[in-house]
Structure 1
Amino acid sequence: MTLLRAANVQLSFGSRTIFQGLTLTIEEGERVGLVGVNGSGKSSLMKIMAGVARADTGEIQLRRGARVTYLPQEPEFPEGATVASELSVAQGPLREALSAHTELGRRMEATPPEGQAKLLEQMATLSDRIEHLGGWDTEHHARTLLDRLGVKDWDKPVAQLSGGLRKRVAIARALLTQPELLMLDEPTNHLDADTVDWLEGELDKLPGSLLLVTHDRYFLDGLVDRIVEIQPGEGVVSYPGNYEAYIEQKVAAQEQASLAEHKRERWIAQEVAWLRRGPEARRTKSKARIDRARKLMAEKGFERPKAAGLQVVAAPRLGHTVIEAEGVKKSFGERRVLDKVDLRLQRGERVGLVGPNGVGKTTFLRVLLGELPPDDGKLVIGKNTKVAYYDQTRAALDPEQTVYEAASSGEDWVEIGGQKIALRDYLEDLLFPVPMQRQKVRALSGGERNRLLLARLFLEGANVLVLDEPTNDLDIVTLNILEGLLLGFTGSVLLVTHDRYFLDKVATSILAFEGEGKVIRYEGNYAMYRRLKEQAEAARAAASAPKKEAPAPVAPAAETAKPSRKPGKLSYKEQRELEGMEAAIEAAETRKGELEAKLADPAIYSSPTKVPELQRELDAASSEVDRLYARWQELQSAVSG
């Protein structure tokens, strides 16, 4: 059944058409991912479908009685709102259903049994609605959500929270409403990777429909069953399946369209040659052919989508020393943020910084850059090191400047690859056409601002890039381009991002901030970090747990003069094997514990070649323990018959 339908929607800003003739339908229980390049109108379309903005033309049809919850990129709260009051508002429908259920219970007590049938039916319907809206213990559920999202101050005014915490309160508020349709615009921004994992699980459990705008490709892969792509200036194209399926279908469609365009161009060339042959081509009987040729030439042919042409200016070669930190400490009052943190950044390394919000990732970057003094420790910056810093707040952009002014450093030319290029042309390659270059920065979308700041950063000629949440608001196409740039970058990179896919593609090692000032380095990308971390945690848990007791030896059965094997008896060899089983199991358990302790030591991950070897040894030791226990059980069973 159709839940929401947008029909023939058109939206323009001045002379710029965002989309026209756009039609999109969302069915009950459907999970839809909305994608498109920055500025294509994803957020605008979501606002129109949520009823918080109006299109120039078109119609929005919502199924009667359906509840819609919309979470924008930058959530809004009423003046004086507290965390508790916002969650209370979110649970309004649930509280109403609970009150109605209580009132119905009182009416049943005053109604004779013969008149209770209809009331029982109403109570069953209310019970189903209460379960659908989140259950009976409303406050417990709300507090659990907030706690998992890292929001501790239940009664604190929302205005006093950071932008990241406000986003988390808004996410909890949206989840608690349990709507028929939940619309989320970039919900993973400002969330750490572990919280994104958790949120993915929570959304997967929601019974209603979902419309999702996100640049997190793992998020799309895990949650949606249809991808809808906005075509700039036009409508939408729908692809069944998740993000991976969308990519496969889109590549196949583009190849097919490219082949069709090649055939079309060849046909046009033949028709043009025919038209040029002279008067015999212009007889009356050829008029229909001439009309067809002109119509075909006037049609718009297939064009591959344009992508932002981000480029990196050549940088000086790094020396032996890039950036080194030894024993760095930093506290704010009683709160310890960095405790004896070490880092040796080498040429060509791309180090990803991960961890919950507020544990010191940005603080560490600012200490490395000299913006914050360390309380203790040693910092060394190589003499050939030239750093470019991307600040997640985008403070370097003046919202009152034009796009052209913001990109310019006082010059109308940029030099890339040994060639001078007009700044105006460079901006066009970045998908900022000339009319757009005259717009104020404040008129740009979040992704367009991000793209502008990255473009300016890459023109600085730095050999060390320090990027704090550069992936926020970028469209997926631009993310792919940025990944390619960083993979080809000959300098070093320090990168803070919650985008797990991006870290898997780009990072060569992970610096994990675990709270209380503790920082551990893991070699490899994000997926490798997760595996190594889980193994280390399992090893620590095993080392601290009481060891399993080896089976007690079984007394040998009395021997006769000529022992013979009977059902339920052991041979002499098996009897000797069983007697030695206790010592064998103990030795195997000890070996397994030693290997687990080695893998639990963070220092081992500084030598990535040792980790796989130790892991293979641990796997073999674990298999041996399992084999010995299985053999012991087999022999015991034989003894007991």
Structure 2
Amino acid sequence: MTLLRAANVQLSFGSRTVFQGLTFTIAEGERVGLVGVNGSGKSSLMKILAGAARADVGELQLRRGARVTYLPQEPEFPEGATVASELSVSQGPLKETLAAHAELAKRMESAPAEEQEKLMAQFSALSDRIEQMGGWDTEHHAKTLLDRLGVKDWDRPVAQLSGGLRKRVAIARALLTRPDLLLLDEPTNHLDADTVDWLEEELDKLPGALLLVTHDRYFLDGLVDRIVEIQPGEGVTSYPGNYQAYVEQKLVAQENAALAQHKRERWIAQEVAWLRKGPEARRTKSKSRIERAQKLMAEKGFERPKVADLRVAAAPRLGHTVIEAEGVKKSFGDRKVLDGVDFRLQRGERVGLVGPNGVGKTTFLRVLLGEVAPDGGKLVIGKNTKVAYYDQSRAQLDVEATVYESASQGEDWVELGDQKIALRDYLDDLLFPVPMQRMKVKALSGGERNRLLLARLFLEGANVLVLDEPTNDLDIVTLNILERLLLDFGGSTLLVTHDRYFLDKVATSILTFEGEGRVTRYEGNYAMYRRLKEQSDEKAASAAAPKPAPKPEEAPAAAPAKAARKPGKLSYKDQRELDGMEATIEVAESRKAGLEAQLADPAVYSNGPKVAEVQKELDATAAEVDRLYARWQELQDLSSGA
């Protein structure tokens, strides 16, 4: 049954049409992902569907009695609100239903027998409704949600919370409403990877329908059963299945559209040649064909979507020493953030930093960059190391400056390799056309500001990129471009992001911040880190578990025929395998990176059969890389006696 229907919706800002003729439906219980490039109107559409904004034209129909909850990117709270009061407001409908249930139970005690059947049906319906809305123990459920989201202070004013904690309170508030339709706009921003995993499980359990805007591709893959893509300035296209299915279908659709466009252009060329022969030749043709040809030539043909052309300026070659830290310590009062951390960044490495919010990832970056003085330890920066730093707050951007002024920094030309390009043209390649270059930065969306700052940093000629949450607010297309850029980058990268898909694509190792100043390094991407972490946790749990004492009557076990190898002592064969493992992994990683670069290449991306062939080879190579890392970890554990 249809829950919501939008028909011929149109929205414009001044002379710019955001979307028009937009028509789609959401069925009861359906899970829909909304995608599109930055500026295509995803957030605007969410506001219209939630009733927080009005469209210029169009019709919205919502099933009678259906409840809708909307979580915007930047949640709003009333003045004086506390965490407890906000969650209490969200549970208003549930509390009303509980009160009605209690009143009905009281009536049933004294109702005559002929009314009991009718009252029992009502009682059962209310019981089902309470279950759908989250159950009976409302306060316990609310506190459990907050605790899992890392919000500890039940009575604290919301105004005193950080942006990340405010977002978490808003998520808890939205989940507790248990609506028929939940609208979520970038819910994973400011959440660490473990919390994103938990949120995915919570949303999967909700009985209502879901419309979701997110750049987290794993999140889309795990939750949605349909993708709706907004075409800038136009309407929407719907694709059944999750994100991966959408990518595959879109590739096929683009290939078919490109083939149809090729045939159309050939037909137009033939008709133009005929029209140019003059009136004598045209008399042999029907008037209707002439009109049909003219109409076809006036129509807009298929054009591949334009994407941001992010590029990196040439940089000096890195030396043997890039960035090294030895025994680094840092505390804020009694809170220990870094406790004797050793770290070495090597040439060509892409290190992902993960861990809960507030455990010290950004502090560690700022210590490495010299912006924060450590309490102890030693730091060494290579003499050829030149760093470009992306601050998650985007403080480097002056919101009162124009887009052009922010990018130029006093220069009207940019040098990319052996090319010198006018800054105006480069910004146009980054999807900032000339009229937009005159706009102030404060008028840009979050994704557009992000893209502008990244473009500016990449022009600095740095050989080390330090990126703190660069993926927030970026559309999926730009994320793919950024992935390819980092894979092709010849320097080193330090990267803080909660985007698991992004880390799986680009990271060569993971630095995990575990609290109390503990930092552990794992080789491989995010998926490999999770596997190795699980293995390590299982071993630790097994070692900590008490072993049952032998029964008194049992005889001691017989001595083994062959003495076990001493901890830390590998066989000759295993030692040789371990010695060569690093080079073997490097070759496999290089092969994997090359295949990923092929998939990101527009020439390959538009060739359906080639994509399937490269994807198959990439899957096999990725599996081999995972096997090698697992074997490497196994040998390392044997060597260390773990």
**Which bin holds the TM-score, normalised by the shorter protein?**
0.7 to 0.9
CA distance in structure 1 between the partners assigned to 2:632 and 2:293 by the alignment:
70
Matched letter for residue 257 of structure 1: A
Partner letter of residue 381 of structure 1? Answer: I
Which string of whole-angstrom CA distances, capped at 9 and with x for unpartnered residues, describes residues 257-289 of structure 1?
000001111111111111122332221743222
CA distance in 2, matches of 1:269, 1:514: 65
- Give the secondary structure class of the aligned counterpart of 1:86: helix
Aligned amino acid, residue 156 of structure 1 = R
**Aligned ranges for residues 549-628 of structure 1 at < 5 Å?**
582-583=557-558, 612-613=630-631
Match of 2:598 in 1: none
TM-score, length-scaled by structure 1:
0.88
Equivalence map 1:76-475=2 (5 Å): 76-283=76-283, 285-475=285-475
- Paired with 1:228 and 1:550, the residues of 2 have a C-alpha distance of 63
Cα pair distance change 1:297/1:549, threshold 3 Å: farther
Q: TM-score, normalised by structure 2?
A: 0.87
Q: Contact 2:274–2:282 (CA<8 Å) still a contact in 1?
A: no
Report the Cα distance in structure 2 between the residues aligned to 1:435 and 1:614, rounded to whole angstroms: 55
Q: Larger Cα Rg: Structure 1 or Structure 2?
A: 1
Partner AA of 1:47 in structure 2: K
Residue 522 of structure 1: aligned partner: 522
Partner Cα separation in structure 2 for residue 114 and residue 223 of structure 1: 47
Deviates more, 1:94-103 or 1:138-147: 94-103
Gaps of 5+ in 1: 555-578, 596-603, 621-641
Shift of 1:415: 1.0
Distance, in Å, in 2 between the alignment partners of 1:584 and 1:272 is 94
In structure 2, the residue corresponding to 1:330 is in which secondary structure? strand
The answer for the alignment partner of 1:62 in structure 2 is 62
Separation in 2 of the partners of 1:275 and 1:174? Answer: 63
Cα distance in 2 for residues equivalent to 1:126 and 1:618: 59
Q: 2: CA distance between counterparts of 1:28 and 1:260?
A: 37
Amino acid at match of 1:369: L
Question: What is the Cα deviation at residue 118 of structure 1?
Answer: 2.6
Distance, in Å, in 1 between the alignment partners of 2:41 and 2:541 is 49
Contact kept? 1:319, 1:384, Cα under 8 Å:
yes
Separation of aligned partners in 2, 1:67 and 1:436: 39
1:4 matched to 2:4:
yes
Give CA deviations for 1:91-135 in whole Å, capped at 9, x if unaligned: 001111111112222223333455433322222111111111100
Report the Cα distance in structure 1 between the residues aligned to 2:561 and 2:530, rounded to whole angstroms: 31
**Alpha-carbon distance, 1:414 to partner:** 0.8
Equivalent-residue separation in structure 1 for 2:192 and 2:398 (angstroms): 28
**Partner of 1:96: helix, strand, or coil?**
helix
Q: Aligned equivalents of 1:504 and 1:550: distance in 2?
A: 46
Provide the residue aligned with 2:614 in structure 1.
none
Amino acid at match of 1:505: K
Residue by residue, what CA displacement relative to the aligned partner does 1:368-389 show, whole Å, maximum 9, x if unpaired?
1111111111111111111110
Any conservation in 1 of the 2:158–2:166 contact (CA below 8 Å)?
A: yes
SS of equivalent residue, structure 1 residue 505 = helix
| Inter-partner Cα distance in structure 1 for 2:397 and 2:33 | 30
Identity among equivalent pairs (%): 81
Secondary structure of residue in 1 paired with 2:343: strand
* Other structure's SS at 2:286 match: helix
Conserved? CA contact 1:221–1:244, under 8 Å:
yes
Q: Distance in 2 between matches of 1:162 and 1:86?
A: 16
Deviation track 1:574-603 (CA, whole Å, cap 9, x = no partner) reads xxxxx99x5489999x889999xxxxxxxx
RMSD: 2.5
- What is the aligned partner in structure 2 of residue 480 from structure 1? 480
CA contact (8 A) 1:550 1:586 kept: no
Verify: 1:531 aligned to 2:528, yes or no. no
Instruction: Supply the distance in 1 between the matched residues of 2:346 and 2:632 (Cα, whole angstroms).
Output: 25
Cα distance in 2, alignment partners of residues 266 and 199 from structure 1: 52
Three-state SS of the structure 2 residue aligned to 1:514 is strand
Does the 8 Å CA contact 1:592/1:618 hold for their aligned counterparts? Answer: no
* Alignment-mate amino acid for residue 166 of structure 1: R
In 1, Cα distance between the equivalents of 2:149 and 2:128? Answer: 28
Q: Residue by residue, what CA displacement relative to the aligned partner does 1:553-575 show, whole Å, maximum 9, x if unpaired?
A: 99xxxxxxxxxxxxxxxxxxxxx
CA–CA separation in structure 1 for the residues paired with 2:214 and 2:632:
39
Q: Aligned-pair distance for 1:405?
A: 1.3
- Paired AA for residue 299 in structure 1: E
- What CA distance in whole angstroms lies between the structure 2 residues aligned with 1:19 and 1:337? 47
Counterpart Cα distance in 1 of 2:497 and 2:432: 25
Bigger drift between 286-295 and 412-421 goes to 286-295
**Residues 60, 255 of structure 1: alpha-carbon distance in 2 compared, 3 angstrom cutoff:** same
| Cα contact 1:7–1:23 (8 A) shared by 2 | yes
| Distance apart, 1:294 and its partner CA | 1.1
Does structure 2 conserve the Cα–Cα contact (< 8 Å) formed by 1:133 and 1:176? yes
Q: After superposition, what is the alpha-carbon deviation per residue over 1:199-249, rounded to whole angstroms, capped at 9, x for unaligned?
A: 000001110000000000000000000000000100000000000000000
| Partner-residue secondary structure (3-state), 2:362 | helix
- What's the offset of the Cα at 1:612? 3.5
Q: Deviations over 1:434-479 (max 9, x none)?
A: 1111111111111111111101110111111000000001000000
Q: Look up the match of 1:639.
A: none
The one-character-per-residue Cα deviations of 1:346-383 (angstroms, maximum 9, x if unpaired) are: 11000000000000000111111111111111111111
Tell me the residue number matched to 2:48: 48
| 1:74–1:586 Cα change, 3 Å | farther
CA contact (8 A) 2:528 2:629 kept: no
User: Which residue of structure 2 aligns with residue 558 of structure 1?
Assistant: none
Residue 152 of structure 1: SS of its match in structure 2? coil
Report the alpha carbon displacement of residue 611 of structure 1 after superposing the two structures with TM: 6.0
Closer, same or farther: CA 619–313 of 1 in aligned 2, 3 Å: closer
Partner of 2:515: helix, strand, or coil? coil
Code of the residue aligned with 2:122 in structure 1: it is Q
Please state whether the residue corresponding to 1:151 is helix, strand or coil: coil
Of the structure 1 ranges 544-553 and 227-236, higher mean CA displacement relative to structure 2 is found in 544-553
- Specify whether residues 50 and 289 from structure 1 end up closer, same or farther in structure 2 by C-alpha distance, changes over 3 A only: same
| CA distance, structure 2, for counterparts of residue 551 and residue 425 of structure 1 | 82
Aligned mates of 1:371, 1:242 — CA distance in 2: 43
Residue type at the aligned position of 2:533: K
Residues 171, 187 of structure 1: 8 Å contact kept: yes
The verdict on how the C-alpha distance between 1:310 and 1:617 changes in structure 2, with shifts beyond 3 A counting, is closer
The one-letter code of the counterpart of 1:497 is T
- The count of corresponding residues between Structure 1 and Structure 2 is 586
The answer (yes or no) to whether the contact 2:30–2:209 under 8 Å persists in 1 is yes
Q: Is the 8 A contact 2:367 2:373 kept in 1?
A: yes
Contact 1:91/1:177 (<8 A) preserved: yes
Contact 2:352-2:511 within 8 A present in 1 as well? yes
CA distance in 1, matches of 2:398, 2:65: 45
Could you report, residue by residue, the CA deviation over 1:501-555 in whole angstroms, capped at 9, with x for unpaired residues?
A: 000000000000000110000000000000000000001111111336779999x
Residues 419, 285 of structure 1: alpha-carbon distance in 2 compared, 3 angstrom cutoff: closer
Alignment correspondent of 2:621: none
Structure 2: runs of 5+ lacking an equivalent = 570-577, 586-627
The 2-side partners of 1:29 and 1:221 are apart by 17
Q: 8 Å contact 1:392–1:470 — kept in the other structure?
A: yes
Q: Structure 1 residues 271, 551: CA separation in 2 closer, same or farther (over 3 Å shift)? A: farther
> What secondary structure does 1:116 align onto?
helix
- Note if contact 1:543-1:593 (Cα within 8 Å) is conserved in structure 2: no
Alpha-carbon distance in 2 for matches of 1:3, 1:243: 23
